[in-house]
Structure 1
Amino acid sequence: MFSIFERLVAPFPDDDRMPPRDGLLRFIAFYARPVWPLLLAMGVLTAAISIIEVSLFAFLGQIVDWFDTGDRATFLADNALALTGMAIVVLVVLPLLVFLEGLVTFQALSGNFPMRFRWQVHRWLLGQSLTFFQDEFAGRIATKLMQTALAVRETVMKFLDVMLYVAVYFTGIVVLVAGADWRLALPFVFWLAGYVALLRYFVPRLGAIAERQADARAQMTGRVVDAYTNIQTVKLFAHTRREAGHARTSMGAFLETVYAQMRRINAFYALLYMLNALLLFAVAALGILLWQSALISAGAIAAAIGLVLRINGMAQWIMWEVSQLFENIGTLRDGMTTFARTRAIDDAPNAGQLVVERGAIAFERVGFHYGRPHVDNRGVIDDFSLAIAPGEKIGLVCRSGAGKSTLLSLLLRFHDLESGRILVDDQDIARVTQASLRSNIGMVTQDTALLHRSVGDNVRYGKPDASDAEIAAALEAAHARDFIADLVDVHGHTGLDAMVGERGVKLSGGQRQRIALARVMLKNAPILLLDEATSALDSEVEAAITENLHALMHGKTVIAVAHRLSTIAALDRLVVIDEGRIIESGSHDELLAANGLYARLWAMQSGGFIGEDVAGRHAPA
């Protein structure tokens, strides 16, 4: 039975649509729409339970009156039908309704509803641009995702639960008490007015604090995770105390929101307790006066006082539920600002699949400057044109920050162009899907980050369906098999099964680079980008890998970037870039003979590296 209800909501739908941005209610409704039938069922069951519980107090009053007027000898016989009916309600009907409500609430909704939200938002976020993730703490985004998922569930379910319970329960109370004497219902009406006034004053203020608290909590978590993620850097610079102070600042900011929240809750609680005490006093005093005037029975007083005591406990429960409701709304508003953000890079409508048969690449009058204002009408990349023939090996040469890595990012469509276009086999990359574009490009970067998974999983990332033989061949070509065989993690996993740690922190830079090379070799894409691909390797390993790297380049179109000119000197063509434009192009020997910037860079290299400051600005040679 449990599993039947647990399967009523699909937790992992094939849906990564953009969430609405125009209003909190539409945002909530977008994610709650698939579970509305179950929410309606929960509401009906909640209402039925409330009605039955109120009727129990009315029956209690009847019993008191029966005790007062009935004959003990014939009491059971005279009231057998009513007592039997109420026994069935108490022992069978009410527990069954509570059980059914629990199946809907706990089995169908409590787990599936927030997981569905996490899944949909996670899929949406994975499509966000690199800039989105560069502008946010990863830990902050993850914390918001987890918090907001629970906030959506709690907002919807608690709102229905509390509002229905209050509406049905309190209406039943007023009807029941007014049935004995309408004057006895007056204290309840005044209590309700006072209770609503308290809610209207405190709840919005608690909600505003909750929104600040959610952001402060995410900021605090982000700083803590940032320190843990970069723990090697923290220790290298002996900044453990500094990082503790950095986290303490955010913890203090979070604590201030907690203090503000608790002050208001304490005031709310004290005023509510006083209001409940006034209700108890008023009902008891009025009930005694009416009883003395023979206007109501003792049973009516018993039922009314019992309901007051019930309201006393229920009012405190509602107070917490409503305050949590608005706290969740605050969390939702904070999360919505992150999750409902439009994607900076998205596939064009009806984008097709990129088909690469030759591997020709063309940059046509490309302009891009990261959204910064133009300086002297020049951008990071300015009116840049370059044609690369199928299978041609190109080396990009320039100073640091002159645009070579930006060109690779633009080819991968990590950013959209401001002007011009980029073609792959005469197909505009802005008109094909990002997935098909990047599946046809293999890239090895200088800063290699591995997933916190096993070595095998990281290598297989290049080709998920690769055979063991293909993986072994890639590792052999990348000269990675020897050190992998010696790996052991804290759980006793060895070799390819050993975990590499977050971002591959358990491996050396050279080991991470060799796994990255194996991953790209396994992918075997027709276009290959190398951004300082062997920079983390020692000379012996680099020499051993270079031969296999040239074999990997065979038949592929290659764009390579390296500060160490000796690693790209043998490529088909070298393109020298300065201020976002091509100023020289040719083979290594041709550029040396031209005696321009490349020749000066080659001459000034110490150990084969380009210096950061090379003879100032210059005109094309």
Structure 2
Amino acid sequence: MFRWFESLIDAFKEPVDSMPPQPVWRFYVFYLRQVWPVFAAAIVVGFGVAIVEVSLFAFIGKIVDLARGAPSTDFFRQHGNELLWMGFVVLMARPVLIGLHDLLVNQSIVPNLTSRIRWQNHRYVIRQSLSFFQNDYAGRIANRIMQTGASLRESAVQIVDAIWYVTIYTGSAIVMFAHADFWLAAPLVVWLVLYVGTLAYFVPRTKERSWRSSEARSRLMGRIVDGYSNILTLKLFAHTRREEAYVAEALGEQINRTRAMTRLTTAMDATITTLNGFLIVGTSALAIWLWSQGKVTVGAIALSTGLVIRINNMSGWIMWVVNGIFENVGTVQDGMETISRPRVVQDVPDAPDLQVSRGKVHFEDVHFHYGKKGGVIAGLDLIVRPGEKIGLVGPSGAGKSTLVNVMLRLYDLEGGRILIDDQDIARVTQESLRSQIGVVTQDTSLLHRSIRDNLLYGRPDATDAQVFDAVRKARADEFIPQLSDGEGRAGYDALVGERGVKLSGGQRQRIAIARVLLKDAPILVLDEATSALDSEAEAAIQESLEVLMQGKTVIAIAHRLSTIARMDRLVVMDKGEIVEMGSHAELVARGGLYARLWKRQTGGFVAADDEVVA
């Protein structure tokens, strides 16, 4: 039975790949309409539960009226059917309806809807552009993904329950009171008007302050995670106190905004409690007075007094539920600010996959400025022939890495186009584009998973033999067997720590090279691929790099010019423009920018120079 209810909502249903809509009510509808049959069932069952709960108070009044006379041996014969019906409702209908309601909410909605919202939001956000993640805290983004799913589900369930309880309880109470005596309903009607007015005053203000509190909480989470993620920098610069002050500032803001919200909550609670006191006293006193005048029965006193006490308890519950609803709505609204953003880099509709047969890369009148005024790359033209190995050289800020980033379509061009085998990369899918390009970056960060998992990122279907071969070629087989983590895993099963912090820079770089060896893409980008290695380690893997580059179109970036001196052609960039082009020997002889950069290099590379010139 549990499994059947748990299967009603598929948490991993493939989402529509579109931006979740705004404003907040459309954001709710976007997710709730996906599970509307389950929610409709919960609404119907909730109606039944509310009716049954109210009928219990009617039963109490009825029993008092039936039993107020002298004892009679014919009591059960005269009223047996009514009593059996009451027993059936209490013993059978009520448990079944409440059980069904709990199954729908706790088994179907709570785990699965929450997870579906988180899954779909994650699916959308992870496809955002690189700039999206560069402009926010990773911790804050993750926090909003997690909070939004739970808050949306919880507030939706609360709305369903609260609507029926408010409608059925107050509506039925007014009808039953008026049926006994019209004036008996007067205190409840007055209370209802004041109660709704109180909620109308406090709830929107609570929602606003809740949103601000949630925003401050997300900022606090982002700062804390930022510090943990950069703990080495924090310790190396001995700025623990500074970091504490940085987090304390956000924590203080979060406390102040939470206090502003809770002040409203306390004021609303006090107001509702006072109104409830007048409701209980007014209704009970009026019922007793009407009974003393012979206008209502003792059962009416029992019914009205019991029901207003129940309404008193329910009103407090409703107040907290409504407050919770809008607090959750504020949290959803905060999350929506991050989640519901258009993607800057998107595939065109029905984009085909990139097909690479030769590996020719053509940069045609490329313009890109990171959205800033002034040129990073302006009007650049470059053709990399199939199988050609070029080196990009130039001072920091020349635009070398930017050129690679736009080729990978981490950013969209502002002008011009980039062609791979005569296919515009802006017209093909991003996944297929990046699957055809192997990249070893300057700042190699690994996933906090095992060595094997990190290697298989290059090729998930690789066999153990292929993995071991790639590791051997990257000279990573020297240290992997000796690795272990804090939980006793060793070798290929050892976890590498967040961003690979348990490995040295050279070890991370060798894992990255092995990963790209496994990927075996026709186009290869080496962005400072050996920058983390000392001269001895660099020399040890030069042969591996030669194997890696065989038969591929290669674009290599390096400040250590010895690593690219053997390239077919060197392209020298400065301020986003190509200023020189040629072989190492030609550029050294020319005496331009490349020659000056070469002269600045420290020892150990003269042999490479002599070999190339020779």
TM-score (norm 2): 0.97
**Correspondences of 1:421-440 after superposition (within 5 Å):** 421-440=417-436
Which residue identity is paired with 1:575? V
Q: 1:72 and 1:216 mapped to 2: Cα distance?
A: 69
- How big is the shift at 1:264? 1.0
Which residue identity is paired with 1:178? A
**Correspondences of 1:116-265 after superposition (within 5 Å):** 116-265=116-265
1:454 touches 1:498 (CA, 8 Å); kept in 2?
A: yes
- How big is the shift at 1:250? 0.6
Equivalent residue number for residue 397 of structure 1: 393
- How big is the shift at 1:388? 0.6
- 1:322-342 per-residue CA deviation (whole Å, 9 max, x = no partner) reads 001011111111111111100
Equivalent residue number for residue 356 of structure 2: 356
Of 550, 554, 557, the residue aligned with 1:558 is 554
SS at the partner of 2:479? helix
- How big is the shift at 1:19? 3.0
Q: 1:511 and 1:80 mapped to 2: Cα distance?
A: 84
SS at the partner of 2:244? helix
1:564 touches 1:608 (CA, 8 Å); kept in 2?
A: no
Equivalent residue number for residue 594 of structure 2: 598
**Correspondences of 1:139-538 after superposition (within 5 Å):** 139-374=139-374, 379-538=375-534
- 1:257-314 per-residue CA deviation (whole Å, 9 max, x = no partner) reads 1111111111111111110100011111111111111000011011100001101110
2:21 touches 2:30 (CA, 8 Å); kept in 1?
A: no
SS at the partner of 1:534? coil
Q: 1:22 and 1:483 mapped to 2: Cα distance?
A: 51
Equivalent residue number for residue 576 of structure 1: 572
Q: 1:261 and 1:26 mapped to 2: Cα distance?
A: 25
- 1:92-145 per-residue CA deviation (whole Å, 9 max, x = no partner) reads 110011001111111111111111111111111111000000001000000001
1:422 touches 1:429 (CA, 8 Å); kept in 2?
A: yes
1:19 touches 1:27 (CA, 8 Å); kept in 2?
A: no
Is 1:45–2:45 an aligned residue pair? Answer: yes
- How big is the shift at 1:174? 0.9
Equivalent residue number for residue 610 of structure 2: none
SS at the partner of 1:563? coil
2:19 touches 2:340 (CA, 8 Å); kept in 1?
A: yes
- How big is the shift at 1:438? 0.1
Q: 2:558 and 2:19 mapped to 1: Cα distance?
A: 42
* Structure 1 residues 2 and 239: alpha-carbon distance in aligned structure 2, compared to 1, 3 A threshold: same
2:22 touches 2:340 (CA, 8 Å); kept in 1?
A: no
Equivalent residue number for residue 2 of structure 2: 2
- 1:468-510 per-residue CA deviation (whole Å, 9 max, x = no partner) reads 0000001111111121111111110000000001111111111
1:130 touches 1:414 (CA, 8 Å); kept in 2?
A: yes
Q: 1:112 and 1:205 mapped to 2: Cα distance?
A: 31
SS at the partner of 2:120? helix
Percent pairwise identity: 53
1:18 touches 1:340 (CA, 8 Å); kept in 2?
A: no
Equivalent residue number for residue 25 of structure 1: 25
2:169 touches 2:311 (CA, 8 Å); kept in 1?
A: no
2:448 touches 2:496 (CA, 8 Å); kept in 1?
A: yes
1:454 touches 1:496 (CA, 8 Å); kept in 2?
A: yes
Q: Where does structure 1 lack aligned partners over 5 or more consecutive residues?
A: 610-621
- 1:210-246 per-residue CA deviation (whole Å, 9 max, x = no partner) reads 1001111110011111111111111111112211111
Q: 2:238 and 2:354 mapped to 1: Cα distance?
A: 49
Which residue identity is paired with 1:271? T
- 1:381-401 per-residue CA deviation (whole Å, 9 max, x = no partner) reads 010000011000000011001
- 1:376-435 per-residue CA deviation (whole Å, 9 max, x = no partner) reads xxx100100000110000000110011000000010001111111100000000010000
Q: 2:382 and 2:397 mapped to 1: Cα distance?
A: 19
- How big is the shift at 1:18? 1.9
- How big is the shift at 1:606? 2.8
Q: 1:186 and 1:471 mapped to 2: Cα distance?
A: 81
- How big is the shift at 1:77? 3.1
* Structure 1 residues 608 and 311: alpha-carbon distance in aligned structure 2, compared to 1, 3 A threshold: farther
2:210 touches 2:326 (CA, 8 Å); kept in 1?
A: yes
Q: 1:607 and 1:439 mapped to 2: Cα distance?
A: 38
- 1:510-545 per-residue CA deviation (whole Å, 9 max, x = no partner) reads 111111111001101000000110111122221110
Is 1:108–2:104 an aligned residue pair? Answer: no
- How big is the shift at 1:608? 7.4
- 1:195-214 per-residue CA deviation (whole Å, 9 max, x = no partner) reads 00110111011000010011
Which residue identity is paired with 1:306? G
1:16 touches 1:121 (CA, 8 Å); kept in 2?
A: no
SS at the partner of 1:367? strand
1:129 touches 1:344 (CA, 8 Å); kept in 2?
A: yes
Q: 1:608 and 1:288 mapped to 2: Cα distance?
A: 104
2:54 touches 2:168 (CA, 8 Å); kept in 1?
A: no
- How big is the shift at 1:605? 2.2
Q: 1:70 and 1:188 mapped to 2: Cα distance?
A: 33
SS at the partner of 1:371? coil
SS at the partner of 1:518? helix
Q: 2:162 and 2:198 mapped to 1: Cα distance?
A: 16
- 1:146-183 per-residue CA deviation (whole Å, 9 max, x = no partner) reads 11111211222111111122112211111111110111
Which residue identity is paired with 2:587? L
Runs of 4+ in structure 1 off by over 6 angstroms are none
Q: 2:235 and 2:70 mapped to 1: Cα distance?
A: 84
SS at the partner of 2:378? strand
Equivalent residue number for residue 71 of structure 1: 71
TM-score (norm 1): 0.96
Which residue identity is paired with 1:577? M
- How big is the shift at 1:80? 1.7
Q: Where does structure 2 lack aligned partners over 5 or more consecutive residues?
A: 606-614
- How big is the shift at 1:346? 0.3
SS at the partner of 2:379? strand
SS at the partner of 2:371? coil
Which residue identity is paired with 2:535? S
- How big is the shift at 1:85? 1.4
Q: 2:222 and 2:370 mapped to 1: Cα distance?
A: 25
1:364 touches 1:386 (CA, 8 Å); kept in 2?
A: yes
- How big is the shift at 1:592? 1.2
